[in-house]
Amino acid sequence: MKPVNLSRRAETDLAEAVGFIARENPAAAIAMRHRIAEAFALFARFPEAGIAQPGQAERILQAKGTPYRLIYRSDMAGVVILRIWHGARSWPPVS
């Protein structure tokens, strides 16, 4: 299994998403956070699980049961989640 790490931007994205949902429905926020954590576990076992982006190093995986997309890079050292982004929003800057 490869290690999975979150960039600071991804940590902020996740905290903002959970916080936004928790204001209306704390239980839903916990469930959403759990589903995203399941995607992290998938990356550890299958780092190429996401969809490759033509001409880019990043891959994308829709976190199952959520509107959130995980934008990440995978190499021999492991997986780095770059952004956690709501699918209804315009494409985020990665760097």
Q: Which band of pLDDT confidence, cut at 50, 70 and 90, is reported for residue 94?
A: low
For 48-68, the pLDDT digits (tens) are 888 887 888 889 999 999 999
Q: Please indicate, yes or no, if residue 91 is contained in any of the structural domains.
A: no
Q: Please indicate, yes or no, if residue 25 is contained in any of the structural domains.
A: yes
Q: Please indicate, yes or no, if residue 45 is contained in any of the structural domains.
A: yes
Give the predicted TM-score (pTM) of the model: 0.84
For 32-42, the pLDDT digits (tens) are 999 999 998 99
Residue 19 CA to residue 15 CA, distance in Å, equals 6
User: How many domains, in total, are found in the chain?
Assistant: 1
Name the 3-class secondary structure at 75.
Answer: strand
* Domain that residue 50 falls in: 4-86
Residue 1 CA to residue 83 CA, distance in Å, equals 21
Which pLDDT belongs to residue 12? 96
Which pLDDT belongs to residue 76? 86
- Residue 8 sits in a domain whose CATH number is 3.30.2310.20
Residue with the bigger pLDDT between 76 and 35: it is 35
